[in-house]
């Protein structure tokens, strides 16, 4: 199984965006697949087939998304699947392989698409986990949610940048006895999920902001100042949530024993 952390490795994907030679099997597969009904081939070489059209938001190249996916090699071998794990994945489109960054921008919330990704838009000549070198990858993806990011672009926007407030409400009151956790467990889980979504959204925005740090002069200073302020604001927003989640996890561990 390929871990999400490996799948979302920014450094690796950036290195592998340059085309590499395809395996003969992958080349033959993509050539044959291009002529099948419903298959679209983009200028980059990415192929996709829409299973179900979505009706919601369409993500941008830096937006955060929540998806279910099932990944296989061209021989049908499964190498990773959020569906099998029963846990959707969340990530920013700027943090994944190029095939995903381009492909998910063709989708809308609620849609389901199969992507056929050539090696140079995936992991190239690098083998990773159950994915061999120069592998053509097939992903069936359902786009569950799009979370647009508030990433400033101009000098004025950078200087004025503030993270959004966390709108998760107050955490529930934990019982004195861990054995009584069941009465608030569902509420606590919803709260924890909201906090995690908020944290991931803000950190993705801050990463996008930090991407402007390569600028010079006043712009660079403004980016670094806003990034530092944003981290402090995030710590303040999580000041109540994190201690609660840590204590809640301890209660869960005790109640599950």
| Active-site pick, 29, 69, 161, 191 | 69
Give the pLDDT of residue 228.
94
CATH of the domain at 48: 3.10.50.40
Number of domains in the chain: 2
d(CA 213, CA 71): 35
> What mean pLDDT is predicted for residues 95-104?
94
Q: Are residues 20 and 138 in the same domain?
A: yes
Do 26 and 141 fall within a single domain? yes
**105 with 186, same domain?**
no
Residue 235, CB half-sphere, CA atoms under 13 Å: how many? Answer: 6
Closest CA to 7 of 126, 96, 104, 137: 96
> In this predicted structure, what is the pLDDT of residue 18?
41
Helix (H), strand (E) at residue 112? strand 112-117
Catalytic residue status for 251: no
Residues 8 and 115 in one domain: yes
Last-in-domain residue among 147, 182, 201: 147
Q: What is the pLDDT of residue 16?
A: 39
Give residue 142's domain range.
Answer: 4-147
Over range 148-176, report the average pLDDT: 89
Query: Looking at the structure, do residues 163 and 123 belong to the same domain, yes or no?
Result: no
- Which residue, of 124, 147, 170, is where some domain finishes? 147
Domain boundary among 147, 167, 201: 147
Catalytic residue (one of 7, 29, 48, 79): 79
- 192 and 67 in one domain? no
Q: Is 147 a catalytic residue?
A: no
Q: Are 86 and 161 contained in the same domain?
A: no
- The residue-averaged pLDDT of 78-90 equals 91
Is 117 an active-site residue? no
Selecting among 139, 198, 227, 248, the annotated active-site residue is 139
Q: What are the contacts of 223-228 at 24+ separation with CB within 8 A?
A: 223/158, 225/159, 226/152, 226/158, 226/159, 226/161
Is 32 in the active site? no
Strand partners, 68: 142
Q: Do 179 and 136 share a domain, yes or no?
A: no
Assess whether 16 and 42 both reside in one domain: yes
Q: What confidence category does residue 164 fall into, taking pLDDT thresholds of 50, 70 and 90?
A: confident
Q: What is the pLDDT of residue 14?
A: 38
Active site residue 74: no
Closest listed residue to residue 58, CA positions, set 142, 146, 141, 144: 146
Judge whether 161 counts as a catalytic residue: no
Catalytic residue among 7, 115, 123, 227: 123
pLDDT value at residue 9: 42
Both 35 and 121 in a single domain? yes
* Per annotation, catalytic residue among 48, 97, 131, 163: 97
Q: Do 37 and 87 share a domain, yes or no?
A: yes
On whether both 171 and 209 belong to a single domain, the answer is yes
């Amino acid at each position: 199984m390929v871990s999400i952390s490996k799948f979302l490795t920014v450094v690796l994907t950036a290195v592998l965006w340059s085309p590499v030679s395809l395996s003969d099997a992958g080349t033959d597969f993509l050539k044959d697949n291009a002529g099948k009904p419903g298959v679209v081939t983009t200028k980059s070489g990415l192929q996709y087939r829409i299973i179900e059209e979505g009706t919601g938001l369409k993500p941008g190249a830096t937006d955060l998304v929540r998806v279910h996916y099932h990944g296989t090699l061209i021989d049908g071998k499964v190498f990773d699947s959020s569906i099998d794990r029963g846990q959707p994945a969340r990530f920013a489109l700027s943090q994944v392989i190029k095939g995903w960054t381009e492909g998910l921008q063709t989708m809308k919330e609620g849609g389901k698409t199969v992507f056929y990704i050539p090696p140079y838009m995936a992991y190239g000549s690098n083998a990773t986990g159950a994915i061999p070198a120069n592998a053509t990858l097939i992903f069936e993806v359902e786009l569950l949610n799009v979370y647009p990011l508030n990433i400033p672009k101009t000098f004025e926007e950078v200087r004025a940048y503030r993270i959004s407030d966390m709108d998760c409400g107050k955490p529930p009151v934990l019982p004195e006895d861990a054995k009584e956790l069941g009465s608030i467990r569902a509420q606590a889980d919803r709260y924890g999920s909201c906090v995690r979504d908020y944290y991931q959204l803000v950190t993705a925005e801050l990463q996008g902001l930090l991407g402007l740090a390569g600028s010079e002069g006043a712009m660079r200073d403004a980016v670094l100042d806003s990034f530092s302020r944003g981290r402090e604001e995030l710590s303040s927003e999580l000041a109540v949530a994190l201690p609660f989640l840590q204590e809640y996890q301890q209660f869960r561990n005790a109640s599950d024993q």
